[in-house]
Structure formats: C-alpha cells, structure tokens
Structure 1
Amino acid sequence: MGGAGRPGLGAAARRGGGPVPVIVALSGGIGGAKLALGLSKVLPPEELLVVANTGDDFEHVGLTICPDIDTLTYTLAGLDNPVLGWGRADESWAFMETLAALGGEDWFRLGDRDLALHVLRTHRLRGGEPLSAITDDLRRRLGIGARILPMSDDPVRTRLRGDAGWIDFQDWFVRQRATPAVRAIEFAGAAAARPQPGVLAALRAGPRAVVICPSNPFISIEPILAVPGMREAIAVCGAPVVAVSPIIAGQAVKGPTAKMFSELGMEPSAAAVAARYGALLDGYVMEEGDDATGIAPHVFRTRTLMQTLDDKVALARAVLAAAEALR
C-alpha cells in the first residue's frame, strides 16, 4: 500500500446543512499524534476530527495536565519537541529549576512555555468552561485546522495495579519510569463519564472511516472505548473501523506497550493488539513481514514505522486507502 493519492476526499459529507468530519481518529499521545499529523497533511481540515484520550490527565502542583491532548496540539501546530518526544520546542526550564530549589515536586517536568498552557487551562476549567471548549479554542489560536476533542468532558483517570497496590498512571509512567509490573488496569470515573457530544455527533452523522491510531491499546485507546456509549457509537456508525498496529516485530516503537502485554499474560504482537479491539475492527494495518496469523479483520500491510514527515504522510495515505477499500 502507500501513495494512493487522497482517497475518499472530495466534498465533505453533510448532515443538517453543515460539514461533517469524514475521518474520526482515536488517539493517545506520541504514536497517535504522528499519524494524526500525517492525516492532517492529506485531508482538508474540516474532514479530520481527532478524539484524544484523557485517561492520562492528572493534577500536578495545582494544575490540570492533559498530556495526550497537549502532545496532539503541539504536534499538529508544529510546536512539538522532536528531541524529547514530548512538550514544546524551544523550551526553557527556569520554573522547574526554581520549583526544585524550593523543595517542590519536580518529577513531572513542565517547561516555561508549556506551563502557560496548563495555567490557562486550569484557570478556565475552574471558571466553569468544559475541557472540550478550552481545547478547541487553544487549537484555533495555534493555527490548527483539524478539530481535537477530548473523549469526554468528565474526568476519567487511568490507574494501574502493581505488586504494591494501585498507582496513578503518571506516578507509574513518569515518576517510577514504568518500572512496577502491571497486574490490572482500571479507568476511574469512566462509568459515570459521558462521551463528548461533538464526538457522538460526528459518529452519528456517518463518517467515512474511524481510525484507531497506533497508540497503546491498554492506556490510550481503551480509556476512550470505556466511556459508556462510545464503543457502541463506533460500532453502529456505518463506517469502516481501521486500526494501525503499534507493535512491530513484537516490540513497541516507543513506550511500555510490549512490557504491559507481557505482564498481563499476553504475548506482545500485532495480533494481540488486534484481539484487544475484537469485533470492533473491519481492517487492520500492520508492518510488512509481521505475522498476521489469527487476525480476524482484513489485513493491510505497509511500513508503519514513522520516522519522518514523509513516513507519516505515507502511512496516513495507506490507512485512508484501506478504509476506502473496505467501504
């Protein structure tokens, strides 16, 4: 697969007199943001809606931090830090240096430019604005055409159970460097959360495809699907659902995906990721040469490693071509 032009484009589908995003992409942070960037380069901005995981969100030094939303925002705005892989480019660290000198918690690093976003978001949330409205306003101010919406405006928090008990996700992932073995996962607050209305509206209006980006299924995609009504809305939306494997040759490109599979008693593989999504999938995009044995949905093979912008665009085209082939 690859260079298939701009499949499925043309006039955006319309419902109720307004344009409807034709691609709804579910995304976590770094890996998902790479594909989202590729999609943004081959789709008109009004035809892309990125649904961000908020299970990673947490409160730190009095601020509401939304790591996956911020990674998506910085990446699509061209402001991401390619050296660190997170945060903003052209960053400075005076705040963190001063915080540490005063005895504050400095295990989660907030750059000075990044800090402004967290302060403003927290201020607006405390003023009663929903997270989705704040996110949408900030992406517009940063010149992003595609929409970014949280999976829910209600708080959902991913927690992991290790041998010593339950751990908040960022404590496990950042402060403890993902070292404790993972025995179980829960999404606190998910049962009472409501899907973000704009996400449901896009799904009900009939998108051309739902894309599950190459993100960790346990902690990036499954929190989205755990919001009551979200999985069902995707299943009945009438569009092909295509996932991209985050596993290549049994290893995750970045992050603890393979480690988590092993600790939860599953062999890390592209097939294991597909099995997590089960009957929700119509198509599965995976690395050339990886074993597709046991994968139920239709398999599309291409290069899935995204090291350059051209790689991201090529994978985006391959995913769109796969979705079009399934229509």
Structure 2
Amino acid sequence: MNYTVIGGGVGCARFVKGLREHVRRAGQGGRIDVVVNTADDWWVSGLRIAPDHDSLLYALAGVNDAERGWGRAGETERVSAELAVWGTAPDWFTLGDLDLGTHIARTAWLREGLSVSEVYRRLGARWDLGVTLHPATDSEIDTHVLLADRDPVHFQEWWVRHRAQLPATGFAQRGIERAAISPGARDAVARADVVLIAPSNPVVSVGPVLAVPGMRQALAGTPAPVVGVSGIISGAVVRGMADACLAAIGVETSAEAVARHYGARSAGGLLDGWLVDESDGDAVAPLRDEGIAARAVPLWMRDPDTSARLAQDALELASTLR
C-alpha cells in the first residue's frame, strides 16, 4: 500500500507518526509519503527556515522537543542570542543552536543550486524516518498576511510575534502563480492508494499546498480515496491559532465548516471522506448529504496507541470508499 499525507506542522507530525506506527503494527508493509507545506518558510539572518518541514523531520526522527512543541530536544540558544544582539535576527523568533545547524546545512545546499526536493532528501537521510518527505513545490511561495489597517507582513511575524492578534483579511503566497508541483509530490499523489489530509491548519498549512499549480488537478485525477482528519474538536482548535486564520477567510471554527471549506470531491472539491471527533457527531449526517462520507471517531492523539488508532480509522474509512 502507498499512503500519501498532505499537511505540515505539529498536527501533521503526530498524525504521520501514528500512521507509521499503525503500518508497523499491522505488519503489512507500505510506503508513506508526506507532501509538506513550504509556504511558511522564510529567510532569517541569511538562512532559509522551514518550520513545517522541520517539525515533521524532528518528530519522525525522535529528536523533537515534545514539551515546547517545536525545535530540537536539549537545545541551547547562544547563537540566537548573539544574532539578536547584532540585529540580524528578530528577538521574537528564537532559533536553537542544533536547529541552526539544520538551517545552515539547508541554506548551503540551496546556495549550491540544489532543489528544495534534494535538500529534503539529504536532511531526511540522516535518520531512519520510515517516511519520505516531499516539498509541495520547489519554488519559494512565502505566505504574507493581508491586514485590515496596515501593510501585509510575513506570516511568521503575524503568527509568532503578534500571536495572530492583528486583524487579518486574508493570506497570499507570493510567487505561487509561477510555482509548480514538485516531482516528488506529483508522483506521491499519482501512486497513492490512499490520500490523507492531516489535521493541520486548513488555511496556512493545507491551503497553500492545494494552491500550488497542478496540485488540485493531481488530486482530482487520482483514483485513490481522499480522506481528511479534522483539526477542530468541539468548536476549538486542537493546537495553535487556526481559529484566527479561519476567521480571516470567513470560515467558522468547526469540524463541519472546515469540511465544507475543503468541499466534496464529487462536487469539484477535495474530500471523499472526513473524520470528526465523537463530540462532533452531529456533523456526520449533514456532510454525508453533501457528498462527504463523514465518520465520528476519537481524534485526540495522546500517545502512540491513540495516534495509531486514528490512522487506522482513517484507513478503514478510505477502504469503504475505493
């Protein structure tokens, strides 16, 4: 079986770890590909930073800081403090020393002319991830936040510095009209037996992946079922500030509303199936009426067992849709 996951960040990392665990426990083998959002990447102190990719890389390698939810475990921050003193990095965006090693390696390879896809391959080769990571695109498509009362700012400034408190009216990926789906992402969708939309931020993690030219066409053309997992439980985000992102584009913070935002594939949207939490069971029937095969299951990923069970539930739903 070939499993292709689309998303980015901590929610995606937890889900992919659960999928990897389920595949290992089932003993049936299988290839797991992850198409990763690149639109929250940016430049800091001359270094290319890739938060969604690195969250996945570190979590799958088992070297992430699980308490903070980002970066490497056992970090020090001496270099970041020096960069702030020199004024080459904002003091509100802290980079650990081990993390900086990743960014320096990434930037060195990019400056040598390697593609983002090849950089992903080299970074992933350090550990036995059991998963292959692919950028959605090899082009730079950094997200900028459109604000009601001032000029746009980079997504990271809005997210990290301002904690998504500045009133936003939308999000734009600069240069995305000239981008193209990466070869690895295209092939991952084409060979998939199941496509899974991770419980990532639907606006700034999944949305930019879907907006890459060629991506929606690839997903529309795959014979594989497309099943998504809600990152909203009982009207609240599981992690982060996705509610602020949803509000900015006029979407209610609910599992049902996010499913409608993605849309039914039978009606030109994305989804064949959608998992909601048991607490959101009332959404199942209305979504089914709209062409999305919804199912209510426990969504909280508290440990390897619950994460693996969620992945199994997603695959079981997909098996009914083939």
Structure 1 position 289, deviation (Å):
2.3
Unpaired stretches in structure 1, ≥5 consecutive residues: 1-11, 13-21
Partner in structure 2 of residue 19 of structure 1: none
* CA deviation map 1:142-168 (0-9, x unaligned): 221210011011111111111223111
Percent identity reads 39
Equivalent residue runs for 1:28-47 within 5 Å: 28-43=8-23, 47=31
1:228 to 191, 208, 213: 213
Partner in structure 1 of residue 84 of structure 2: 100
Partner in structure 2 of residue 177 of structure 1: 163
Partner in structure 1 of residue 258 of structure 2: 273
2:170 counterpart of 1:198: no
2:272 to 282, 291, 298: 282
Instruction: Give the 3-state SS of the residue equivalent to 1:289 in structure 2.
Output: helix
Structure 1 position 274, deviation (Å):
0.4
* CA deviation map 1:275-301 (0-9, x unaligned): 111122100011002130632300111
Partner in structure 2 of residue 252 of structure 1: 237
Q: Which stretch of structure 1 is more off in the superposition, 94-103 or 106-115?
A: 94-103
Partner in structure 1 of residue 124 of structure 2: 139
Supply the AA of the counterpart residue of 1:285. L
Partner in structure 2 of residue 311 of structure 1: 306
Q: Which stretch of structure 1 is more off in the superposition, 305-314 or 62-71?
A: 305-314
Counterpart Cα distance in 2 of 1:326 and 1:46: 19
Normalising by structure 1, report the TM-score. 0.90
Partner in structure 1 of residue 267 of structure 2: none
2:65 counterpart of 1:70: no
Supply the AA of the counterpart residue of 1:218. V
Supply the AA of the counterpart residue of 1:32. C
Tell whether the 8 Å contact from 2:298 to 2:310 is kept in structure 1 after alignment: yes
Counterpart Cα distance in 1 of 2:178 and 2:38: 14
Counterpart Cα distance in 2 of 1:289 and 1:177: 28
Tell whether the 8 Å contact from 1:46 to 1:147 is kept in structure 2 after alignment: no
Instruction: Give the 3-state SS of the residue equivalent to 1:232 in structure 2.
Output: helix
Instruction: Give the 3-state SS of the residue equivalent to 1:161 in structure 2.
Output: strand
Partner in structure 2 of residue 165 of structure 1: 151
Counterpart Cα distance in 2 of 1:278 and 1:264: 15
Structure 1 position 250, deviation (Å):
0.6
Instruction: Give the 3-state SS of the residue equivalent to 2:279 in structure 1.
Output: coil
Counterpart Cα distance in 2 of 1:240 and 1:62: 41
Q: Which stretch of structure 1 is more off in the superposition, 155-164 or 112-121?
A: 155-164
Instruction: Give the 3-state SS of the residue equivalent to 1:97 in structure 2.
Output: helix
Structure 1 position 46, deviation (Å):
5.2
Partner in structure 1 of residue 174 of structure 2: 188
Counterpart Cα distance in 1 of 2:236 and 2:295: 19
Unpaired stretches in structure 2, ≥5 consecutive residues: 265-269
Structure 1 position 107, deviation (Å):
1.6
2:283 counterpart of 1:299: no
CA distance change for structure 1 residues 259 and 311 in 2, over 3 Å: closer, same or farther?
same
Instruction: Give the 3-state SS of the residue equivalent to 2:223 in structure 1.
Output: coil
Aligned residue pair count? 306
CA distance change for structure 1 residues 100 and 185 in 2, over 3 Å: closer, same or farther?
closer
Equivalent residue runs for 1:142-157 within 5 Å: 142-157=127-142
* CA deviation map 1:5-26 (0-9, x unaligned): xxxxxxx4xxxxxxxxx11100
Tell whether the 8 Å contact from 2:170 to 2:248 is kept in structure 1 after alignment: no
Partner in structure 1 of residue 318 of structure 2: 323
Instruction: Give the 3-state SS of the residue equivalent to 2:17 in structure 1.
Output: helix
Instruction: Give the 3-state SS of the residue equivalent to 1:326 in structure 2.
Output: coil
2:5 counterpart of 1:25: yes
Counterpart Cα distance in 2 of 1:138 and 1:266: 36
Tell whether the 8 Å contact from 2:61 to 2:127 is kept in structure 1 after alignment: yes
* CA deviation map 1:180-221 (0-9, x unaligned): 12211111111111101122123223x111000001111000
Tell whether the 8 Å contact from 1:46 to 1:146 is kept in structure 2 after alignment: no
CA distance change for structure 1 residues 285 and 186 in 2, over 3 Å: closer, same or farther?
same
Structure 1 position 178, deviation (Å):
1.3
Partner in structure 2 of residue 5 of structure 1: none
Instruction: Give the 3-state SS of the residue equivalent to 1:307 in structure 2.
Output: coil
Counterpart Cα distance in 2 of 1:220 and 1:49: 16
Counterpart Cα distance in 1 of 2:12 and 2:183: 22
Partner in structure 2 of residue 239 of structure 1: 224
Normalising by structure 2, report the TM-score. 0.91
Instruction: Give the 3-state SS of the residue equivalent to 1:155 in structure 2.
Output: coil
